[in-house]
Structure 1
Amino acid sequence: MLMRGKTILLGVSGGIASYKAAALCSKLAQAGANVRVVMTESAAKFIAPLTFQALSRNDVLIDTFDEKDSSVISHIDAADRADLVVIAPATANIIGKLANGIADDMLSTTLLAVTSPILMAPAMNVHMYEHPAVQENIRRLRDRGVIFCEPGEGQLACGYVGKGRLAQPDEIYARIAALLHPERPLEGKRVLVTAGGTVERIDPVRYITNDSSGRMGYAIAEAAVRMGAVVTLISAPTALTPPQVAEWVPVTSAMEMFEAVMVRFADSDVVIKAAAVADYRPAVQAEQKIKKNEDTLTLTLQKNPDILQAIGERKTFQFIVGFAAETERVQQHAMEKLKRKNCDLIVANDVTQEGAGFGSATNIVSIFDRNGLVRSLPMMSKQEVANQLLEIVSSRLG
């Protein structure tokens, strides 16, 4: 009974995905958790409170003024008892309320009294999720320590296809288990992660770069923190919110990333090179914007330093993980890169596969060592890829 003795406050806000919260409630209760459910009035229009009462064996809280026990104040009591708060689905409305300190119903009022960790699983239309106000609210909550279980991509109830689908109950359950029973196999290890695509300036308004959202590197950094590591994240430009790591180092170019890595390499136990570093840069960077005069423009490029090659040559005790984004003969190219650059592991993917390309919230990877394939992972969230990769790394660190 993994959850025995744990009290989980499950907040259900008003969205069509609220039916999935019932499956999550059932799974938590079966694992031995004491589940206390708080619903918004809108959520009760999608799924009956009686469903959660039957699954949790507890009264469901909806109305702030419906005090069933005169010896306590319901929302304070519920907040005090919680070992963890889970909001699934988390609508744009409840995210906005918590971000701005609004307490106008039972769920939002209870959340302001909570001192335990909060896990939010957003679910909404893709355009709502991408709206700057919603993204700003999410950033604010992340900065305050709220943990997010990223929504999936696919067919939404509104008919759109995109990001906004509630994470599956099994995925949310796994995050809950990890938060309540954190394994810290990287306790005290110094982990250096690179992420994003470097930018090589042509002139003040133009540049060349590599395709990369930075999501994989950021997911690895966050997972390493959860496993107890002291994490430094060296990041090329991305649209992502910096995670709560020991050190966040923003860089722009390959040369800047090279210097940042080299300064910190000797003190690192693990280096994970997830960044998409430009192989070449313009030999000359124009000080002014290049005017459009001729039909053709010739750029002379010069080679950037190979960061992975450099640390592979210098490593003493460091465990090095490289990445290989391929379009053909994935295993062959990955194995060649691993040996050529003296890595301990290579994480390879075929970026032409749907769900494994750049900018996707998911990935499909194979992990290799010098003996060949270590583990082949099907399509899964980049957070889960990060977890499985670091499990392999930690086991090989002894």
Structure 2
Amino acid sequence: MIIPSDLLAGKRILLGVSGSIAAYKALELVRLYVKAGAEVKVVMTDAAKRFVTPLSFETLSRNEVLHSENESWASRHNHIQSAEDADLMVIAPASANTIAKLANAIADNLLLQCALAFPGVKLLAPSANTNMIKHPITQANLKMLGVANYEIVKTQTKELACQTTGDGAMAEPLELFWQSARLLLRNDYWTNRRVIVTGGGTVERLDDVRYLSNFSSGKMASALATALYLRGADVNLIATRFDDGLPSSMHTLDVEGSEEMAEYLTDSIRVAKKGLMSKPSLITDEPIHLIQKTPYLFMAAAVSDYVPAHPQQGKLKKEALGTAWSPELVQNRDLIGSVDKEGIKSVAFKAEFDESSALANAKKALSSKNVDAVCLNVLSTSQGFGSDDNAITFISEKGETVLPRSSKLAISLRVLDEAEAL
């Protein structure tokens, strides 16, 4: 997925790097932040400098690294002003030693001092040997930080630097980027709002090796779900195909045919329409009930218009089929038109090839599909389905808004702006 170069424009991130072999991954994290337009300042512990030099971070961030040898009170290059200047503080990697000190408000190095001085939410990415991360005291420290304005990013299970396989590896830089961007970009409208997105072309089996489908890549649905995730929504992406590099903490359901998609979609709508939503408390593991906002459904899937009348098991032999084969197809049900949309806002996606009739057809879909809005995409060739950019006309009863061609994530954020007004 292409990350827009202005996604984090105007955002200032303070990145704390502690003493862990995973410090080298923080270099990639800086690159991702800067590429998305953010201003990045790095603060390092002395232990971190044993793994990666400050010069490496300065080269990527174009900012002087704050460390024990260069703190200045004649400028803003100190732990108080660095914390004041940041919109978000990220600590990645966070060693077991750093986690223990943070949980007890110990401030014997500049990274810890910055963390104490920064009043906002801090994103923490632990990194440690399995026994160290699973130690009861480390786990208690993480729970303490979880109620002290820290967002804890889950560690990975993989081969560690100590050449053992287990839990404790720091989350990948891209996942840390997505979670950082979510903290910086979420808004009141979408935060904790339940949203369902469908995507990809459905796969309708003729037999166990052949199928009927279409060119839809699922990229637009993936971008839309990611945009919703960044705005803070509780999003569920139901799709047959997914783009690469999605946030791993975003909920996804991998489906195949239209019947399977309809089943999961119906269940998801039922859950989304419940009066309360809940999330586990970091202290007691008991659910915390949140006020439910009106759910949304974005139907970006390209559901097959026709399905095989008699799908077969196994593999049909061409010797038995003969020189010509005409499989019997029957018209599929209209999924977006048939699901229960009462009490939810719904947005359909419509692809057209004939520019002269595209707008009229899309407007008709408002009533024929019983939806609140239609996102019209006019294609010139089938290759447009797998492209990394898109141009959309957002159509509702209030009128039409043309969203110029841009990356699919950028245009998805524009679609959400329009959807807020429904």
TM-score by length of structure 1 reads: 0.51
Shift of 1:246: 4.4
Runs of 4+ in 1 over 6 A off after TM superposition: 267-270
Aligned to 2:137, what secondary structure does the other structure show?
Answer: helix
* Structure 1 contact 231–246 (Cα < 8 Å) conserved: no
Q: Determine if the alignment matches structure 1 residue 89 to structure 2 residue 134.
A: no
* Structure 2 contact 185–230 (Cα < 8 Å) conserved: no
Alpha-carbon separation, structure 2, partners of 1:316 and 1:181: 28
Q: Determine if the alignment matches structure 1 residue 32 to structure 2 residue 74.
A: no
1:3 alignment partner, one of 8, 32, 41: 8
**Structure 2 counterpart of 1:60, which letter?**
V
Shift of 1:268: 8.9
Aligned to 2:49, what secondary structure does the other structure show?
Answer: helix
Aligned to 1:119, what secondary structure does the other structure show?
Answer: strand
Alpha-carbon separation, structure 1, partners of 2:232 and 2:26: 25
Aligned position for 1:158:
162
* Structure 2 contact 91–124 (Cα < 8 Å) conserved: yes
Aligned to 2:8, what secondary structure does the other structure show?
Answer: coil
Q: CA RMSD in A?
A: 4.1
What is the number of residues matched between the two proteins? 235
Sort the Cα spacing of 1:226 and 1:140 in 2 relative to 1 into closer, same or farther, 3 A: farther
Sort the Cα spacing of 1:245 and 1:317 in 2 relative to 1 into closer, same or farther, 3 A: farther
Alpha-carbon separation, structure 1, partners of 2:129 and 2:140: 16
| Per-residue deviation, residues 165-197 of structure 1 (Å, max 9, x unmatched) | 111111111111111111566558589xxxxxx
Aligned to 1:95, what secondary structure does the other structure show?
Answer: helix
Alpha-carbon separation, structure 1, partners of 2:168 and 2:192: 36
Aligned position for 1:179:
183
* Structure 2 contact 44–66 (Cα < 8 Å) conserved: yes
Alpha-carbon separation, structure 1, partners of 2:55 and 2:194: 49
Q: Show structure 1 runs of 5+ residues with no match.
A: 192-222, 249-263, 271-314, 320-394
Alpha-carbon separation, structure 2, partners of 1:58 and 1:123: 25
**Structure 2 counterpart of 1:97, which letter?**
K
* Structure 2 contact 130–167 (Cα < 8 Å) conserved: yes
Alpha-carbon separation, structure 1, partners of 2:287 and 2:118: 24
Aligned to 2:13, what secondary structure does the other structure show?
Answer: strand
* Structure 2 contact 191–232 (Cα < 8 Å) conserved: no
Shift of 1:113: 0.4
Aligned to 2:162, what secondary structure does the other structure show?
Answer: coil
* Structure 1 contact 38–107 (Cα < 8 Å) conserved: yes
Aligned position for 2:27:
22
Aligned pairs for 1:234-313 (under 5 A) are 241-242=283-284, 246-247=288-289
Shift of 1:6: 1.1
Aligned to 2:27, what secondary structure does the other structure show?
Answer: helix
Alpha-carbon separation, structure 1, partners of 2:114 and 2:284: 28
Aligned position for 2:104:
100
Aligned to 1:104, what secondary structure does the other structure show?
Answer: coil
Aligned position for 2:363:
none
Alpha-carbon separation, structure 1, partners of 2:287 and 2:24: 35
Aligned position for 2:376:
none
**Structure 2 counterpart of 1:233, which letter?**
S
* Structure 1 contact 8–86 (Cα < 8 Å) conserved: yes
Q: Show structure 2 runs of 5+ residues with no match.
A: 1-5, 196-228, 235-271, 296-339, 345-418
1:146 alignment partner, one of 144, 147, 150: 150
Aligned position for 1:57:
62
Sort the Cα spacing of 1:135 and 1:187 in 2 relative to 1 into closer, same or farther, 3 A: closer
Aligned to 2:28, what secondary structure does the other structure show?
Answer: helix
| Per-residue deviation, residues 313-367 of structure 1 (Å, max 9, x unmatched) | xx99578xxxxxxxxxxxxxxxxxxxxxxxxxxxxxxxxxxxxxxxxxxxxxxxx
Alpha-carbon separation, structure 2, partners of 1:318 and 1:177: 30
Percentage of pairs with the same residue: 38
Q: Determine if the alignment matches structure 1 residue 227 to structure 2 residue 233.
A: yes
